[in-house]
């Protein structure tokens, strides 16, 4: 049974119903977690959800997180437990020392509470196997957030308020005011608890709410509505930039198992407002949406992009490391790219092998030369005389003292020097796969072919080794196909 608009309904419930319908917050036949602190906002939200659940028959699980910051917090938890029981709802609770966590992580108490609270809610959601977590943010929260972000110099996106739905978080009250919530509770004679810390001005949000807003209200009565309308304008204009950023993201970003790769030149040629959004999207794609990054972090990456030095790195919170490798920017988990685990794979027959530590596959195939044109300009493939190069072959990482006999060069050269000349950054050279026959290196994919087993007029069977999927060495700068470093028919 679906939720529909009803005339003559309580005005508060009507607004909440309209918001739920507009943003499709309750999937048909699904359930939701209701995050309830015991305060007026979350209690009003819970009663509204219970009202709607009688129409739709969806499941509600009440979740209460005790921050252990006030002596009366245990009383709040007991109140929510009694409320859930009176409404016939499932109940989950957890108590953690938020203050101790904030000190250990060197973050604010407010941020620590947010991280632990949402971690708890997500665990409850997964355990209950429901798709949505409902929280009690309303218009006044959105206006407070707008002012706090404005005073901290937020971006356009940061000034766009609180999204009605973000991921699996839904905000059914986001279109109602605090006064409307209190009026609803009074009409229904619904009790709630009061968080005494909200009456203090110690936190920035409480100071804005308790000190700044009353002053503004004296001169600009009803300013909250004007700010809310301005937020709507900003959201519409932000959407335009977001669409441009999405286009750039699709063309400049490649996602791999070990992180995100970005095209530095495309970012530099884009407008700064758009490229910044792409950088943030890439960071969040690796770190997760519950992490927090801000303008200073983006500015650090911009400095990495624009400086003359072709390589370098920036360390960000949450274990994120951003590396520049010439015109490639890599965003990944710190040290995930630089694990030095030696490997050696024996290739006994044609087939595909996955290169360890890289999102790369090498394909080995043999076929008759006749009727198969060979593209010697393609550096992602190498061709050999199969009769002169029988299996087994080896795929391994570079070793100290490695040398190879490159095609077209007299004698041998150090593999290390070849990698340096190919602009492979020092911290990832050990990841470059080498293809060898016994002790001779026959190919460095995308970089150099050895002189072994050349294709000649006498060749009848071809052994083709090629890269499938991602490039075999994403750190190598593209080479000019007009000057291929491979053998041709002699």
Distance CA 408, CA 443 (A): 13
Q: How far is CA 263 from CA 113, 171, 385, 445, in A?
A: 37, 37, 37, 21
**Average pLDDT, rounded, for the chain:** 88
Q: What is the mean pLDDT of residues 476-488?
A: 41
Provide the pLDDT for residue 479: 42
Q: Show binding-site residues for ATP.
A: 37-42
Q: What is the pLDDT of residue 28?
A: 72
pLDDT at 213 over 90: yes
Q: pLDDT category, 258, cuts 50, 70, 90?
A: confident
* pLDDT over 90, % of the chain: 65
Of 103-107, 384-388, 432-436, the least confident: 103-107
Judged by average pLDDT, the poorest of 17-21, 83-87, 207-211, 336-340 is: 336-340
Extract the runs of DSSP E, i.e. beta strands, from 21-166.
32-35, 60-66, 90-95, 132-134, 165-166
Calculate ∠ Cα 210-213-197, nearest 5°.
20
The yes-or-no verdict on residue 198 having pLDDT over 50 is: yes
Confidence of residue 370 (pLDDT cuts 50, 70, 90): confident
**Does 78 or 488 have the greater pLDDT score?**
78
Mean pLDDT across 13-41:
91
Lowest mean pLDDT among 179-188, 224-233, 256-265, 476-485: 476-485
Residue 397 backbone phi and psi in degrees, to 5: -90, 165
Angstrom distances, CA of residue 385 to CA of 323, 437, 448, 453 = 39, 13, 17, 5
Label the pairing between strands 448-449 and 360-368: unpaired
Domains and CATH numbers, the chain: 11-221 (3.40.50.620), 257-333 (3.30.465.60), 344-469 (no CATH)
> What integer pLDDT is reported at residue 478 of this predicted model?
41
pLDDT for 276 beyond 80 = yes
Q: Which of 220-234, 275-289, 306-320, 384-398 has the lowest mean pLDDT?
A: 306-320
Predicted pLDDT of residue 408: 87
More confident of the two residues 108 and 413: 413
CB 424 within 8 A of CB 435: no
3-state secondary structure at position 433: coil
- Residue 203 pLDDT exceeds 90: no
Among 166-180, 185-199, 302-316, the range with the most confident prediction by mean pLDDT is 166-180
Q: How confident is the model at residue 488 (pLDDT cuts 50, 70, 90)?
A: very low
Q: In this predicted model, what pLDDT tens digit does every residue of 304-348 receive, in sequence order?
A: 999 888 888 888 988 899 989 888 899 988 765 555 678 899 999
Strands 413-414 and 403-404: antiparallel
Question: Does the structure show a pLDDT above 90 at 27?
Answer: no
Does residue 372 surpass a pLDDT of 70? yes
Binding-site residue numbers are 37-42
- Close Cβ partners of 336 (under 8 Å, ≥ 6 residues apart): 258, 259
Residue 301 token pair: 């990456």
Residues 57-78: tens digit of each pLDDT: 889 999 999 999 988 899 999 9
For residue 18, how far is the Cα from the chain centroid? 31
Closest listed residue to residue 426, CA positions, set 324, 357, 355: 324
Query: Who wins on pLDDT, 472 or 260?
Result: 260
Nearest by Cα to 422 from 399, 446, 443: 446
Q: What per-residue confidence (pLDDT) applies to 7?
A: 66
Tell me the pLDDT tens digit for each residue of 98-148. Answer: 999 999 988 888 889 999 999 999 999 999 999 999 999 999 999 999 999
pLDDT above 60 (res 473): no
Task: Give me the pLDDT at residue 335, please.
Answer: 61
Q: Which residue reads 């024996």 in tokens?
A: 346
H runs (alpha helix) in 137-263: 139-151, 178-188, 204-207, 213-219, 223-252
The pLDDT assigned to 317 comes to: 87
Which pLDDT value is given to residue 431? 81
pLDDT tens, residue by residue, 445-469: 989 999 999 999 999 999 999 987 5
């Amino acid at each position: 049974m679906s939720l529909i608009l009803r005339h003559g309904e309580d005005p508060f419930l009507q607004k909440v119903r309209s918001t739920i319908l507009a943003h499709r917050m309750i999937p048909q036949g699904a359930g939701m977690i209701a995050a309830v602190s015991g305060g007026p906002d979350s209690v009003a939200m819970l009663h509204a959800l219970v009202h709607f659940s009688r129409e739709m028959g969806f499941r509600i699980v009440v979740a209460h997180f005790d921050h252990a910051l006030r002596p009366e917090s245990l009383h709040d938890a007991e109140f929510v437990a009694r409320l859930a029981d009176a409404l016939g709802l499932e109940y989950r609770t957890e108590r953690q020392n938020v203050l101790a966590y904030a000190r250990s992580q060197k973050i604010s108490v407010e941020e620590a509470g947010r991280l632990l609270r949402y971690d708890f809610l997500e665990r409850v959601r997964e355990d209950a196997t429901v798709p949505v977590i409902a929280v009690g943010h309303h218009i006044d929260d959105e206006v407070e957030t707008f002012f706090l972000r404005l005073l901290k110099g937020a971006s356009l996106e940061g000034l766009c308020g609180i999204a009605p739905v973000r991921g699996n978080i839904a905000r059914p009250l986001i279109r109602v005011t605090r006064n409307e919530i209190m009026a609803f509770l009074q009409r229904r004679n619904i009790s709630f608890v009061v968080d005494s810390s909200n009456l203090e001005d110690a936190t920035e949000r409480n100071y804005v709410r308790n000190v700044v807003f009353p002053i503004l209200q004296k001169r600009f009565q009803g300013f909250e509505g004007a700010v809310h309308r301005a937020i709507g304008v900003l959201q519409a204009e932000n959407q335009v930039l977001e669409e441009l950023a999405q286009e750039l993201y699709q063309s400049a970003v490649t996602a791999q198992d070990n992180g995100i790769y970005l095209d530095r030149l495309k970012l530099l040629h884009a407008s700064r407002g758009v490229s910044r959004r792409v950088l943030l999207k890439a960071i969040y794609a690796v770190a997760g949406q519950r992490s927090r990054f801000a303008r200073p972090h983006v500015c650090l990456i911009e400095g990495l992009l624009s400086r003359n030095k072709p390589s370098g790195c920036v360390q960000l919170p949450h274990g994120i490391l951003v590396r520049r490798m010439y015109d490639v920017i890599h965003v990944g988990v710190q040290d995930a790219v630089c694990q030095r685990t030696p490997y050696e794979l024996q290739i006994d027959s044609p087939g595909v092998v996955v290169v360890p530590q890289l999102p790369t596959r090498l394909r080995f195939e043999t076929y008759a030369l006749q009727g198969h044109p060979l593209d010697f300009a393609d550096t992602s493939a190498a061709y050999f005389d199969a009769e002169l190069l029988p299996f087994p072959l080896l795929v391994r990482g570079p070793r100290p003292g490695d040398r190879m006999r490159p095609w077209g060069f007299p004698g041998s050269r150090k593999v290390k020097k070849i990698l340096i000349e190919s602009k492979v950054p020092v911290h990832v050279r050990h990841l470059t796969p080498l293809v060898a026959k016994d002790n001779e290196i026959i190919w460095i994919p995308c970089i150099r072919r050895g002189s072994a087993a050349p294709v000649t007029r006498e060749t009848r069977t071809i052994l083709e080794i090629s890269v499938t999927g991602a490039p075999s060495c994403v750190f190598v700068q593209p080479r000019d196909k007009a000057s291929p470093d491979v053998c041709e028919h002699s």
